[in-house]
Structure formats: C-alpha cells, structure tokens
Structure 1
Amino acid sequence: MAPSSEKLLLLDSASLYFRAFYGVPDSVRADDGTVVNALRGFLDMIAKLVPLSEATHVVACWDDDWRPQWRVDLLPTYKSHRVVTEVAAGPDVEEVPDPLETQVPLIGEALGLLGIPVVGAADHEADDVIGTLATRATMPVDIVTGDRDLFQLVDDAREVRVVYTARGMSNLETVTDDVVVAKYGVHAAQYADFATLRGDASDGLPGVAGIGDKTAATLLAAHGDLAGIRAAADAPDSGMSAGVRAKILAGTDYLAVAPRVVAVVRDLDIPDVDARLRTSDAASRAAAEGFAHRWGSVAAMDRALAAVTAAAG
C-alpha cells in the first residue's frame, strides 16, 4: 500500500445525487428558475467528504448502464421495479424525476471543473467501476455510498472502507469488517453470499424463499460460503436441518445465477485514472465560478473548491 498520507475517495455518484435531490428542497433554483437542489447538494457533499476522509485522490464513479442486460439475462427481476414502464422499445430507462434528470449533466460538468474525473464503463454499473478501482488501488480507499451491496468490498487488511450515507450526510457511518459482523453476523467477504440468500427487494433480488437474515448468517457461519451451503444441502448427512435443506434445494435455479448478479465486478478494463486532487489555476477557477453563477451555486462551489484546494496541499 502507498504511504498513509494518500487516500482514494470513490464516489457512488448516482447514490449521492439522488440523496442530494431528495435532501435539499426543490425551492433551490437558479436565476432562470431551473431546480438546482441536487447540484448544490452534491457540491456540498464534496466539500464535506474530501476533508472528512482526508482524501488526496477522488473519482466520481458513474452508471454508464444502471441495469446491464447481462445481469437482467441472468435474473429478469433485477431492478425491474425501477424501469419506466411507458418506454416500449430500446434500453431500459430508469425512473428519474425530471428535475433531477436535468441536473445530472450539470453535476458531471461541476465535477470536471473541480478536477475530479468521472469514470464509467460500458455495460456496467458504478458499483463495478468502484469494485475495480478499489481492487487495483495502492492506497487506502473510502467508498461513499448508500448501497449495502458495496459492503462486499470492505477489506480491513487493504484499508478499504465504506462511508455509508443511509442515515444522512450528518450521520455518516464508517463500515469496517467489524461493523458488518455486528450488523449482519457475517464478514464483509461473505456479504455477497448473504445478500444472495436473503434477497434484497430494492434490487429486485428475491432471495431463497424462507431464508431470512438470521438463517443466512447461521448457514454462512456453519459452511463458510454459498458453495459450502449448497454442498451441504446436497449431502443428507451434512447436519443441515431437513427444512433448511429443502429450501436451499428448492432455490437451486436461482442460486445458479444470482451470485453473478450480486457480485461486484472487480476486473474491468478501465484505463488508469489520474485522480490526484490539484489546486485550480486561474482559468479553471474562473470557469468554475462562472458555472456557479450561471447555476445559482456560488457558495456551494466555493466550499467545494476550498476543500479540493486544501486537500491538494
């Protein structure tokens, strides 16, 4: 690992701009009446997160494909409840409020003006970009998200943590392996198998019928991983109760595909990213200030620029 003075901050961008949109009143508008609550909230998140994590490097990870077809082919229910039903043809479109949809390009532009790279990958979600960049990192990593799926990336030995936003930006939770164990009774390395077993309605993941959190954790403690659980279910003398064994065997078809859907991809072919924060030159600062005036976010941009400048040293 790199010297501890370096830290990579990976932003689950969609998770954050949805939170900003719903957390900041839509009365926040530019002079022309455009709603800019998500933009302003996102800039304030940057201003808070960069110094809080003591980041020297930042990447905004992007959903180039929020519902990849290869995941849907494996599990048709995957995120199906979020699809705009009026769209008859073409790729699935995520249901996004109009005032947020118009702000997403502005958020991308603001990140560029701050010198923060925006990175996505064709046919993959931001989670997969995060998984790849966290896996290849040579320095400690903080992953900022409201998505529990990314708990599977927590790795104390490599200093990879999740900064969990589910309780709001004023009540952030730093998730380490001990926290995952305390919450769910499984280690972070087991979390993907745990989520596969118990399911997750927010992702359209049905889980194994009749297997909840407690049973999933008990099974993983006894058998280590999903492969071990399935092997025990196939062996009548394994000690697994007949009822649980029947549930696992009934879920065979689901368990054959769901792990690939749940597992974050960690080996995408992403070019090297120069994520080091840098002090803005005069032209860049002027561009950022001009953008902020145009979109009614002067104070928020000033705070974000100050945070980035201080982190750049």
Structure 2
Amino acid sequence: MLMLIDAASLWYRAYYGLPSSIKAPDGRRAGAVRGFFDGLAVLARRFSPTGMVCCLEGNWRPEWRVELMPGYKAERAQPDGSEDTPEGLDDQVAAIEALLPALGIATATHPSYEADDVIATLASRTAEPVLVVTGDRDLFQLVDDERDRKVVYLARGISKAELFDGEAVATKFGVGPNHYVDFAVLRGDPSDGLPGVKGIGAKTAVTLVNTYGGIAGLKAAAAEEGSDLPERQRKSILETTDYLDRAVTVSTAVTDVDVPVVDGALPHSPADPAKVEALSAEWGVASALARFNEAITTPKA
C-alpha cells in the first residue's frame, strides 16, 4: 500500500499542535520538525504502508488557477505573492525538506502545481492501494472504493486522523467522492476563495447535486425551459454559469502533472547518514527520527 502525504498539512499540524517551547539547540522553534516525523511514525505504525511519498507544495497558488479565479487563496497571500506563514515555520520546513531525502523518503513536487495535483497524479499512476494523508477536504475527490483509494484526514490532528472511504465521505457530506467538487463549488469554500452560489448552502447543494447528478446536470436543468428546478435556484445557476465552469476547473486536482517516476519504497537505512546526523543535531530531533526509523523498519506482524 502506497501512502501519499500532503507534507504541508502534516507540518502545519505539527507546528500548531506542539508547544512553542520546543526549541533547537540554537534557540529556534523546532516543534514542527519533531512533530512532523513523530506524525509520520504514528501513520506508519497505524497503517503499515509499504511505500511512502511526501508531496511538496511546488506552487501553493499557481498562476493558472489565479487567472481563472483571482480570489483563489487570496486571503493567505502576502503583497509579494508569497504565502503568509507563521513565525519560525519556514526554517523548519527547509529542515524537513532536507531530512526527507537524507532519510531515504521519496518526495515529489512540480513548480507549477500544488501538492494536491502531484498526489492526484501519483495516485493515478499506480494500481496498488493508496492512502492519501491530508488535512485538505479537496482531496476527498480522490476517494475511490473500486481502485482502493482512501483518505486519512488530519482535521482533528495526527493522533486522531480519520480514515475515509466512499461511504464515509457520503455520510459526512451527503455526496459521494465523485461529486465532492460539485458540492464544494456550489456551497463555496472561503479558505480557497470560492464564493459559492448565492442562496445555495450546504444542505441545498447536497440536494441539487444528488438530484441532478452534479454541476453539469444542474446547468442542463437550468437551461431547460419547464425544468422542475425551482425558479430561484434556476436563476442563480444561470447567473453563475461562468463561475461554476471556472471553479470546477480550479478545484479539480490535476492527474497528469509532469513529475518524474518516484520510487516510494520505504528505506532500510538512511540514504545519507552523515546529513541525517548533522541535521538531527542541529535541530535536536534525534529521538523523533529514531522513532520514525523504528516505525518504518520494524517488521509488521
């Protein structure tokens, strides 16, 4: 089973989940580094993957998405276009990104795409079971029972991560994974800058998606004279057709990103022991790295 990890989701939760008093020997905050690898260890012990790829945010706000939706993730953007990150996180992210290849853990990224797109691409390339680890609801669109694709959702923290298959997605949101994007676009998603459709909240979005088979069917119903679609909703859909088309494209994870073939096999030993030792000492995370190494190398019963 291949575990595809939205690395940013993991290190953000580690950053906020551990106290700021956790410091490196030089006084810098180190909780995100420690928590990231302890989190990976927890996930490895719980789910016993045979492969692992940490997918990195090559471009957190791709220009092609912004061109389609100027407000896309705008609330998180600084004046220079970079992402607004909390104090002390950037240095820790650099340490994590250096430690992963030194440990022999595969990474994947692309400069024009988000980690979600890289995850979707890698999932589309393999026939083996896939677990997607993320705190991003958008990736519920990748859940596929027939192909054995599940999501490990981190909203409640790493230790309380929830496993979602198709039934679990439908139970939580009222729509199946194949219509999660339709639901989110209709309802709106402030964190991504998607305004939604006026007068359509979550409950109405569920009803419309399930009745008309998603946005494509809903648009067809709205364009049809004499449709049974309520007039107020019909008017709202007709007025927002352009938004719906653009938002669906923006919200759909790309499955054909040009990323190299990645060998996600778990390592038996670090790829660069000297670098691991140096970074471990610099950040004071030897214990966390030892726990992670034990989790991925201990034979499973």
In structure 1, which of residues 229, 232, 246 is the aligned counterpart of residue 235 of structure 2?
246
Structure 1 295/46 Cα, relative in aligned 2: closer, same or farther at 3 Å? same
SS in 2 for 1:129: helix
Distance in 1 (alpha carbons) for counterparts of 2:59 and 2:130: 24
Distance in 2 (alpha carbons) for counterparts of 1:311 and 1:119: 26
Please say if 1:198 is aligned against 2:187. yes
Distance in 2 (alpha carbons) for counterparts of 1:218 and 1:146: 26
Q: Which moved more, 1:35-44 or 1:47-56?
A: 47-56
Distance in 2 (alpha carbons) for counterparts of 1:312 and 1:271: 30
**TM-score (ref. length: structure 2):** 0.96
Residue of structure 1 in register with 2:101 after alignment: 112
Q: CA deviation at 1:253?
A: 2.1
Checking the alignment, whether the CA contact within 8 Å between 2:73 and 2:191 is kept in structure 1 is yes
Distance in 2 (alpha carbons) for counterparts of 1:242 and 1:158: 39
Checking the alignment, whether the CA contact within 8 Å between 2:30 and 2:283 is kept in structure 1 is yes
Please say if 1:175 is aligned against 2:169. no
SS in 2 for 1:180: helix
Structure 1 308/289 Cα, relative in aligned 2: closer, same or farther at 3 Å? farther
Checking the alignment, whether the CA contact within 8 Å between 2:11 and 2:33 is kept in structure 1 is yes
Residue of structure 1 in register with 2:11 after alignment: 17
Q: Which amino acid aligns with 2:89?
A: L
Q: CA deviation at 1:146?
A: 0.6
Distance in 2 (alpha carbons) for counterparts of 1:61 and 1:286: 24
Please say if 1:45 is aligned against 2:39. yes
In structure 2, which of residues 94, 103, 110 is the aligned counterpart of residue 121 of structure 1?
110
**Any idea what the Cα deviations from partners look like across 1:200-239, whole Å, max 9, x if unmatched?**
0011111111111111111111111211000000112221
Q: Which amino acid aligns with 1:307?
A: A
Q: CA deviation at 1:306?
A: 0.9
Residue of structure 2 in register with 1:100 after alignment: 89
Checking the alignment, whether the CA contact within 8 Å between 1:163 and 1:174 is kept in structure 2 is yes
Q: CA deviation at 1:35?
A: 1.1
**TM-score (ref. length: structure 1):** 0.93
In structure 2, which of residues 203, 222, 225 is the aligned counterpart of residue 214 of structure 1?
203
Unaligned stretches of 5+ residues in structure 1: 1-6
Checking the alignment, whether the CA contact within 8 Å between 1:196 and 1:207 is kept in structure 2 is yes
Residue of structure 2 in register with 1:296 after alignment: 284
Q: CA deviation at 1:27?
A: 0.8
Q: Which amino acid aligns with 1:48?
A: V
Checking the alignment, whether the CA contact within 8 Å between 2:110 and 2:259 is kept in structure 1 is yes
User: Superposition pairs for residues 1-313 of structure 1, below 5 Å?
Assistant: 7-85=1-79, 87=80, 92-280=81-269, 284-285=272-273, 287-310=275-298
Q: CA deviation at 1:197?
A: 0.8
Q: Paired residues, what number? A: 301
Distance in 1 (alpha carbons) for counterparts of 2:70 and 2:32: 31
Checking the alignment, whether the CA contact within 8 Å between 1:83 and 1:93 is kept in structure 2 is yes
Residue of structure 2 in register with 1:4 after alignment: none
SS in 2 for 1:269: coil
Distance in 1 (alpha carbons) for counterparts of 2:41 and 2:158: 12
Checking the alignment, whether the CA contact within 8 Å between 2:42 and 2:159 is kept in structure 1 is no
Q: CA deviation at 1:111?
A: 1.1
Q: Which amino acid aligns with 1:36?
A: A
SS in 2 for 1:47: helix
Identity within the alignment, %:
47
Structure 1 299/68 Cα, relative in aligned 2: closer, same or farther at 3 Å? same
Distance in 1 (alpha carbons) for counterparts of 2:295 and 2:279: 18
Residue of structure 2 in register with 1:3 after alignment: none
Checking the alignment, whether the CA contact within 8 Å between 1:56 and 1:312 is kept in structure 2 is no
Distance in 1 (alpha carbons) for counterparts of 2:28 and 2:172: 41
